[in-house]
Structure 1
Amino acid sequence: MNSIKVTMLGESLERQGGIVSVQKLILEETTSDIQIKHIATLPNGSTVHKVLVFLQAISLLFWNLLNRKADVIHIHVSSRGSAFRHSITTLIGWLFQKPVIIHAHSSDFHVFYSKLPQLLKQWLSWSFGKSTRFIVLSDSWKKYYIENLGLNLEQVIVLPNSVRIPPEVPHRIDSKQIFFLFLGRIGERKGAFDLIKAFASIPAVEQSRAKLVMAGDGDVEQARSLIQSLNLVEYITVLDWVNQEERDDLLTKADVFVLPSYNEGLPMALLEAMSWGLAVITTAVGGIPEVVTHDQNGLLVNPGNIQQLSEAMKSLIADENLRMSLGNNARVRVKNLDINSYLTSLRGIYTAVIN
């Protein structure tokens, strides 16, 4: 059987974030029957550099299509500039009569799309409608894209993000100090400042039994300033973005993962934490409630509700049995999201569109 030639378009692999994590996982774990050529459409750097890289990506896409180097085009798309850039790449693939798979990752496409002028909404709806398949991360996102962009039911496929499942995880028994961990972009959208304020409102006795480590890019200095103003320097540490090895080390040492986001697709950091057997505190936004069930494999709080978040943290400081039960159930829940199952599903999508 001939291998499937895939031209994959998405953010530069030098960037940080969930979309890059998904791309890397596919590229690193894909089997020999799928040959993927990755083309970066968004690098780090200045606006001028970003424009030049996108123009280069367009030329590479044309070259691949003209030289029959692509059986299928797989496009990783978010919102804002990404949506408009990839409306162009989608149409190029469509004009060449090649199957185009759009893979939607945005956490807040609904917010972005609702604010667009009608003409731009029609443009995105029309251009994205030219895709052969439209991959989304959850049933709730499938419903949204069908209802708002007019996509066909058969066109939209739910494929939740995947993780590498660690073969073994720590037991996390008799923790003297409960280690709360936040991984991701530090800012309002992921509730990073809410988390700091929630920690501040934990009574002193429980607070003395806990610590919080936050690792990521974004508004790092603003977070450190807030921590200092609340006299929490002794309890909360803010790191910069960590690499995979450092991330796994943190996940090994942590007791609880916290992600109190306002908007999400299906966050990779959350799935990774669950795969490491961590109890999780998060919010019922995006695809999260399709993976996390309150009081069964995690605790769900309302976005922006600092008191709820603080109470959830207090309960996990106090109750080791609850921490252990939630963490064990979380690991079981994501086992079916293993990368091997994911690649089987992705291969099935590729095969279906080229036959």
Structure 2
Amino acid sequence: MVKNFVPRAELVSVSERNVAFVGRLSEEKGPDTFVAIAQHFPERQFHIYGSGPLESSLQQQAGDNIQFHGHQSNMNNVWSSVDLLLITSRYEGLPMAALEAMSRGIPVISFELGELPNVIDSGSNGWIASDHKEMVSILNEWFTLSDSKRAQIKYQAQQTIELNYSTEVVIPTMLDIYGITG
């Protein structure tokens, strides 16, 4: 099996503790869960990058601490303002948003979905939550971590991608599978 992969990226340094949802605003992606979790933290900023059929109903439910940024054709400029990514999907394989975020040192909190438990070592480079309540608890923990502990987790997230899911690692494996030599 060939892994998903992303190019190496620069480590993001964000002073604000902004939390993001990146994806289609549809039932399977769970943006309603993201909105519900944000309601536990009215003093914190939450950002939704994406559009879809649930957009207008989510905007009606959302508190003042949630900003909707709409569809993004290129996330490269957006990642620099994201401190933490929540994956609130109801089902997934291996979301590219998680790999792209982690490649920049943006940790991910996700439900136990698809391949994410094989990528995320809970507490080391991100977190796997068993349910909504645990995700809220982990997010609260993230907000109270020291800068040095946050920096360590961010570095581990980036290293996980660089060592296992970067183009430099996966492309040679693909070429080998197909019998292509340089």
Is the structural similarity TM-score above 0.5? yes
Q: How does 1:266-345 map to 2 (within 5 A)?
A: 266-302=94-130, 305-321=131-147, 322-336=149-163, 337-345=165-173
Do the aligned partners of 1:274 and 1:280 also contact (CA within 8 Å) in 2? yes
**Structure 2 equivalent of residue 224 of structure 1:** 59
Moved over 3 A (4+): none
CA contact (8 A) 2:12 2:79 kept: no
* Of 241, 256, 259, the match for 2:71: 241
More strand by share: 1
Q: Which has the higher contact order (CA 8 A, sep 6+)?
A: 2
Task: Please identify, of 211-220 and 273-282, the stretch whose mean Cα deviation from structure 2 is larger.
Answer: 211-220
Q: CA RMSD in A?
A: 1.7
Tell me the equivalent position of 1:200.
39
Which of 1 and 2 has greater Rg? Answer: 1
SS in 1 for 2:21: strand
Q: Identity, % of aligned pairs?
A: 21
Does the CA contact (< 8 Å) of 1:257 and 1:280 recur in 2? yes
- C-alpha contact (below 8 Å) 1:178/1:255 kept by paired residues: yes
Within 5 Å, give how 1:13-162 maps onto structure 2.
158-162=1-5
Is it true that 1:178 corresponds to 2:17 in the alignment?
A: yes
Could you tell me how far 1:185 is from its partner in structure 2? Answer: 1.4
The alignment of Structure 1 onto Structure 2 pairs a total of residues equal to 177
TM-score by length of 2: 0.89
Native 8 Å contact 2:92 2:113 kept in 1: yes
Letter in structure 2 aligned against 1:184 = G
Give the gaps of 5 or more residues in structure 1: 1-157
User: What letter is aligned with 2:116?
Assistant: I
1:215 corresponds to which letter in structure 2? Y
1:187 aligns with 2:56: no
CA positional deviation for 1:165: 1.1
